[in-house]
Amino acid sequence: MSRASLQSLARGKLLPAVLGLAGLVVVFSPSSAAPASPVDRTLRLEARSFEYSPSVLTVNRGDRVTLEVVALDVVHGVHIDGLGVEVTADPGQTARLSFVADRAGAFTIRCNVTCGPLHPFMLGRLSVAPSDTPWRVVLLAGLAVLFGARLPPPRSPVRGASAGHLAP
Amino acid sequence: MALGLLGRETAARIAVGVAGLGLPVALFGAWQWVHASQPVTLHARMSEVGGWAPEVLRVEAGRPLELRLISDDVVHGFAIGQSQVSPIDLLPGQVVTTTLTFDAPGSYSYYCTRWCGPNHWRMRGVIEVTGPEVNTAAPSPPLYEVLGIDLDAPHPAAVVPQTRPSAARGAQLGLILPEDLTSRDAYASRSPAETWRALRAMPVTETLTDDQVWDLVAWIWRTQASEAALQQGAELFAQNCAACHGEGGSGDGVMASSVVAGTMGPVEATGPADFTDASRALGASPALLHGKISRGGMGTGMPYWGPILTEEEIWILTDYLWTFQFEE
Amino acid sequence: MTRYELTRSPGVRRLLQSRWPQLTVQAVALAGLALVIASALLGTPVGNRNFAIVMVWIAWWAALMLVAVPLLGRTWCSICPLPLPGEWLQRGAVLGPRGRGFGLGLRWPKRLRNLWLQNGAFVLVALFSLPVLTQPRLTGLLLAGLVLLAIALSLVFERRAFCRYVCPVGGFIGLYAQAAPIEVRVRDATLCAAHATKTCYTGSEKGYGCPWQVYPGALNANTYCGVCMECLRTCPYDNVAVNLRPFGADLSEVKGRGLDETFKAVLLLGSGLAYSGVLLGAWSTARLAAANIGSIDWLVYAAGFLAFVLVLVPAFLLLALRAGLWLSGSRLDILRAVRAFSPALIPLGLSLWIAFSLSFLFPNISYIFPVMSDPLNLGWNLLGTAGLGWTPYGPALVPLLTVGVVLVGLAWTSRRISATAESLGGRAGLALPLLTAAFVMAAGALWLLVF
């Protein structure tokens, strides 16, 4: 194939379609990673204004997780986005939050009890392995670059010399 | 034409004047008016930034006191000391209104019911209820005073059990013990170590080991409180004590290091008491514990619960504390 | 490129030329600002229950970032209440014109006629933002301070000096307005060339000369046009039009781009990344340091932030550009290349800020309802919603939207990079390192926001 025809191929409708298909493959192809067998996990989560310790929790998919939430200074809470579970913890009374991590991915842990000025930024992360979503997203980003870079640029008169001029 | 223009401009000026100046002035006025009238606005703040504001409320006996409660920082709670009225949780920024009526004149303590920092227990205020004096009997002196116990003196137990004493094992020994060891008064006025010594000296326990005599002590202690009372004691402990003393009673609560850091005066900074430490715990009588809880720790960071908990509640707590030493 | 002129319809033109609709919306905005400042100074110090914090940093910010700027360009600036009191005093009229107003009417100093002051203001605000965002009193003081500053500047300098050269949000809005599908342009430039008095800039009895110090006849980008409609009123030929146009039509414009604009684009991209990491990332160390103004931690954070947005990110992009120039064997002057390529960063930067805003908006939008029922925290319940608690909205949706928005921004930026490379000679390899740099930054942003 000549260079010119390759280029015209790239700029035609074929490449975007190919990239679109590749994107669908990246998004919907099933995960190949073998998940670890689920276990019962008890994790201690300390809550202090305005952070969680540890700030990232890692469990495996299917694990039956119990979080022991220990509030260190004032009343805090734990709410896990996406799993929709939450609990409130008073200092001196460890609160227990039990759930099954049935979906892989990253879930934000938030404080759901106002605990001071930085309360909306009291965030942590629950990472449920195995999750290849980061890799898929990276691949999609690569496809996005290819898609954007190879699209024909907008047809426009050469700009820069005159003031804004309208097409009739 | 010019007049028409002037008319439009004036109308426009009035419109923006109302929006930009009139509105804020009106809002400020509304805010002032609300705050100058009933209900009184009571702000809950962490002790470190001032505590309750205003700290002192005044009302006449029999007249309703309307309160608008709002927390300015973290979760607090509002309750009246020694009262059966349910505590009111105060979520930050949310206004809660309540009405209180006091029949008898006097000074009523109000306090915070949700842990809001190391100085949570200092978050207290007073409601002065005025009115015609009611003749009440003078309160009787607390038991530790009657017994002449020095609350601040160390109270080590000379002998400690090798294994954790069990009330069930003590019951199984099948002994009949004299009233002057098992009565409520006897229980309250003697430490477990003293009771142990008294039991050890009795002929009927000669064949028992030291630990078995401890089991008898555990049995005496356990029979002082019902299951329901112990449950209530556990709740009181969890809400009021565990933050410093630890959920397991070992003195390692989340606030423990703050207590050590905040200890004032000439007292030694030892931190919250460890109820699992046998040599200390078994040398303290219930009367001493009751006194400590009521009067507080005089600079050690142990709060004084006298105005807050009723006598019954303090005794229930005292009866619960032994579960850190003795098994059922 | 096709454009559709909205003011083609006489009804629309009359609506935009009339001062009453605009004034009505401005009065509402002014009332909103008054309520915001009142509640910031009088209401509860608890941020998420304070009308000011919630309505400004959640509601207004979301409306600005998700709707106003991407779709309507700088239209917010036409109704923004901050400069209004100053402008009315300066003009001596609310409708107008009616002769002289108050003030000295000095010209803005020549050395400051660029974006550098705004760039600096933006960086300052960014460093001190966390306490301002979360404490009502500080938000109130900031807004009141900006109003007073705008009044002062209006009484000393001519036109909208605050808006054009000082407002910290203005630089941000102006830059990203270039991506919007709406614009104000003249229909026929030759008509302007023949018009001697240029009333669009000097003013007439129908309206004021452009408060934004723009000559509408030469307007070719949305960056500095505040959509205030004065030029529609003053042009005797009705030669100024409001057009609908494709997204990002300004991004291929290179004329008139100074280093200040270029740097702004880089600054906003870098700070978008920094904000995502510091405010919404899982690690709290930087976040807590950012809030603890004046402490050693904060100084370390400030140094790190400044190094990142002022040095690291620009250096990274510059390196990518140099690599591209070297790869393609181009002899293009680096400064010219920088000026040419910086508009290409705008879609990615905007998408990062949108993604950041989405990540913050959805979990916190529920605060809007109780706050509207009790704006001064006196126990009112105007709309019956005062007792509503917090609940996150669409938690499963947020990662999807975030990723989607950033991918769209990345694709668009890639397209702009590639198109710019073409227009500069089109040699192979020129765009490649910059495309890689964009990819790295987008991937980094996604990692911070979603994982």
Q: Are strands B76-80 and B106-111 parallel, antiparallel or unpaired?
A: antiparallel
Query: What pLDDT score does B37 carry?
Result: 76
Query: What pLDDT score does A32 carry?
Result: 73
The shortest C-alpha distance from C400 to chain A (Å) reads 10
More confident residue, B234 or A153: B234
Query: Of the candidates B40, B25, A120, which has an alpha carbon nearest to the alpha carbon of residue C46?
Result: A120
The shortest C-alpha distance from C24 to chain A (Å) reads 31
The mean pLDDT value for B41-54 works out to 95
pLDDT above 70: percentage of residues in chain B: 98
Which of B47, B48, B73, B259 should be substituted to probe chain A, the one whose Cβ sees the most A Cβ atoms within 10 Å? B73
Touching subunits of A (3+ CB pairs, under 8 Å) are B, C
More confident residue, B74 or B268: B74
Give the model confidence (pLDDT) of A33-55 as tens digits: 777 888 999 999 999 999 999 99
pLDDT reading at C51 higher than 90: yes
- What letter would DSSP give residue C106? B
Provide the mean pLDDT of chain A.
84
Q: Is C318 on the interface with B (CB under 8 A)?
A: no
More confident residue, C3 or B38: C3
Compute chain A's Rg from CA coordinates: 25
**Residue B153 CB contacts under 8 Å (≥ 6 apart), including other chains:** none
**Nearest residue in C to B41, CA atom:** C378
Structural contact between residues C415 and C443, judged by C-beta atoms closer than 8 angstroms: no
Structural contact between residues A57 and A127, judged by C-beta atoms closer than 8 angstroms: yes
More confident residue, B36 or B63: B63
pLDDT above 90: percentage of residues in chain B: 73
Name the strands in the sheet holding A105-110, side by side, starting at the edge strand that comes first in the sequence.
Answer: A56-60, A123-129, A105-110, A76-80, A85-89
Query: Of the candidates B98, B24, B52, B37, which has an alpha carbon nearest to the alpha carbon of residue C375?
Result: B24
Q: Is A75 on the interface with C (CB under 8 A)?
A: no
Do C30 and B20 count as a contact with CB atoms less than 8 A apart?
Answer: yes
The mean pLDDT value for B191-200 works out to 94
pLDDT reading at C297 higher than 50: yes
**Nearest residue in C to A52, CA atom:** C284
* φ and ψ of B27, to 5 deg: -65, -45
Total-model pTM: 0.91
Owner of token pair 């046998």: B278
Query: What pLDDT score does A151 carry?
Result: 63
Q: Is A74 on the interface with C (CB under 8 A)?
A: no
Query: What pLDDT score does B298 carry?
Result: 80
Q: Chain A partners of B115 at a C-beta cutoff of 8 Å?
A: 71, 74-75, 90-92
Do B74 and A75 count as a contact with CB atoms less than 8 A apart?
Answer: yes
**Nearest residue in B to A74, CA atom:** B116
Owner of token pair 């996005």: A144
Compute chain C's Rg from CA coordinates: 23
Structural contact between residues C331 and C349, judged by C-beta atoms closer than 8 angstroms: no
Do A154 and C255 count as a contact with CB atoms less than 8 A apart?
Answer: no
**Nearest residue in A to B252, CA atom:** A92
pLDDT reading at C313 higher than 50: yes
Task: Decide: helix, strand or coil at residue A69.
Answer: strand
Query: What pLDDT score does C2 carry?
Result: 83
The mean pLDDT value for B229-234 works out to 96
Question: What are the beta bridge partners of residue A96?
Answer: A68
Under an 8 Å CB criterion, which residues of A touch B?
70-75, 90-94, 113-116
Distance CA B160, CA B168 (A): 19
Residue B204 burial (10 A CB sphere; 0-12, 13-18, 19+): exposed
Query: A 20-59 residues with CB below 8 A of C?
Result: 50-52, 55-56
Q: Which amino acid is at B134?
A: V
Give the model confidence (pLDDT) of B116-130 as tens digits: 999 999 999 999 999
Task: Decide: helix, strand or coil at residue C222.
Answer: coil
Give the model confidence (pLDDT) of C232-276 as tens digits: 999 999 999 999 999 988 888 766 678 899 999 999 999 999 999
- Residue A157: which pLDDT band, with cuts at 50, 70 and 90? very low
pLDDT reading at A159 higher than 50: no
Give the model confidence (pLDDT) of C88-143 as tens digits: 999 999 987 888 889 999 999 999 999 999 999 999 989 999 999 999 999 999 99
Query: Of the candidates B269, B274, B281, which has an alpha carbon nearest to the alpha carbon of residue B251?
Result: B274
Give the model confidence (pLDDT) of C355-407 as tens digits: 999 999 999 999 999 999 999 999 899 999 998 999 999 888 999 999 999 99
Q: Chain C partners of A127 at a C-beta cutoff of 8 Å?
A: 451
Query: What pLDDT score does A158 carry?
Result: 44
The shortest C-alpha distance from A44 to chain B (Å) reads 14
Structural contact between residues C113 and C164, judged by C-beta atoms closer than 8 angstroms: no
Query: What pLDDT score does B285 carry?
Result: 94
Owner of token pair 């009895």: C205
Give the model confidence (pLDDT) of B242-264 as tens digits: 999 999 999 999 999 998 888 87
ipTM above 0.85, yes or no: yes
Provide the mean pLDDT of chain B.
91
Query: Of the candidates C448, C446, C418, which has an alpha carbon nearest to the alpha carbon of residue C434?
Result: C418
pLDDT reading at B2 higher than 70: no
The mean pLDDT value for C40-51 works out to 96
- Residue A152: which pLDDT band, with cuts at 50, 70 and 90? low
Distance CA B122, CA B303 (A): 8
More confident residue, A168 or B199: B199
Structural contact between residues B246 and B253, judged by C-beta atoms closer than 8 angstroms: yes
Query: What pLDDT score does B268 carry?
Result: 74
Distance CA B264, CA A73 (A): 20
Query: What pLDDT score does B209 carry?
Result: 93
Residue A158 burial (10 A CB sphere; 0-12, 13-18, 19+): exposed
Do C451 and A133 count as a contact with CB atoms less than 8 A apart?
Answer: yes
